[in-house]
Amino acid sequence: MIENYLNWTETQDTGLLELHSDCLDCFGLCCAALPFAASSDFAIDKNAGQPCPNLRDDFRCGIHTELREKGFRGCTVYDCFGAGQKVSNLTYGGRDWQQAPEIAGQMFEVFLVMRQLHELLWYLREAIAFPGADILHDSLMLMIERTLNLTTLSPEELLTLDVPVQRAEVNELLLRASELARNAARAQLEPAPKRQKNYGRGADLIGAKLRKAELRCVSLRGAYLIAADLSGADLRHADLIGADLRDTNLSGADLRDSLFLTQAQLQAAKGNSATKLPGSLTHPEHWSVDKG
């Protein structure tokens, strides 16, 4: 298994899809397991464990091509990192919760655990490729193997995992990798960036005016950037893990080489064709509609 994972870090083969949602190969787990409340992101209230009324019997979304128009924007910014298809096809061996309703509750809980593990794997995969973080390669590989092994546990074993402990250990490695990568990038910058403000984790930057801001190599881990104006900002090598980019204006921003940026974060933001992204990510379709 670990050999296959190593190949994923070097090629764009089908293995890479295992860390991204594949709704066609899943039993609609996010559509049933997760709760949501009527808001700007969801048109209705739904309890955890209650199937969304838009979920069809074949586990497909009945309004998939109209989610934003129908008031379900929140669905378009969610990524299970491949946990859905893992639980559906590996953990439960293709046995779905409609045909076996007695396992539905357990399957939904297992999905929530698996999603966290797959998210950690996604970040670990990113970190192992960071220039300047070579010294952590062995530690990152060991953590990848350990986390991968956890994803193969039985449903009962998965539900007994102390996920916060696992997350804390992974986060320590990710933080070190980020610091090494940003320091290495900062040393090569010409001209050297001006003295930058140090944003602590969870910094309140809601609605901040940061147009054309120099944010290269800055840590914005967990920052609240909701509706902030980052148009034209330079975010190369900035750490964006967990940053809340809902309605953040990224029009013309440079996000190449940014650290830990996910497609889901981009889906939640606004931008345009001038926004520069890492090669592994794509411009969301709705950006042309929202016009950044």
- Mean pLDDT to the nearest integer, 141-151: 95
For the chain, give the percent of residues with pLDDT over 90. 82
Check residue 191 and give its pLDDT: 67
Q: What span, in angstroms and rounded, lies between the C-alpha atoms of 29 and 211? A: 39
Residue 101 half-sphere exposure toward CB, CA atoms < 13 A = 3
| Amino acid residing at 77 | V
Could you tell me the fold of the domain covering 196-292?
Pectate Lyase C-like (2.160.20)
Task: Identify the band that residue 283 occupies on the pLDDT scale cut at 50, 70 and 90.
Answer: very high
Instruction: Report the range of poorest mean pLDDT among 17-21, 170-174, 238-242.
Output: 17-21
In which band, very low, low, confident or very high, does the pLDDT at 13 lie, cut at 50, 70 and 90?
Answer: very low
For a pLDDT cut of 70, what percent of the chain falls above it?
89
Q: What is the average pLDDT across 202-228?
A: 95
137-150 vs 104-127: helix crossing angle, rounded to 10: 170
Task: State mean pLDDT over 219-227.
Answer: 96
pLDDT at 189: 78
The larger pLDDT score, comparing residue 58 to residue 12, is at: 58
| Statement: residue 16 has pLDDT above 80 | no
- Give the mean pLDDT of 62-70: 92
14-23, 214-223, 259-268 — which is least confidently predicted? 14-23
User: 239 near 203, Cβ under 8 Å?
Assistant: no
Q: State yes or no: pLDDT of 18 exceeds 90.
A: no
Q: Evaluate if residue 84 carries a pLDDT over 80.
A: yes
Residue 220 pLDDT greater than 50, yes or no:
yes
d(CA 290, CA 170): 36
Calpha distance 147→142 (Å, rounded): 9
Q: Quick: pLDDT tens for 165-209.
A: 999 999 999 999 999 999 999 988 776 666 666 677 889 999 999
CB 290 within 8 A of CB 270: yes
CA distance 225 to 220: 9
> Is 44 within 8 Å of 38 (Cβ atoms)?
yes
CATH 2.160.20.80 in the chain is located at 196-292
Q: How far apart are CA 72 and CA 132, in angstroms?
A: 41
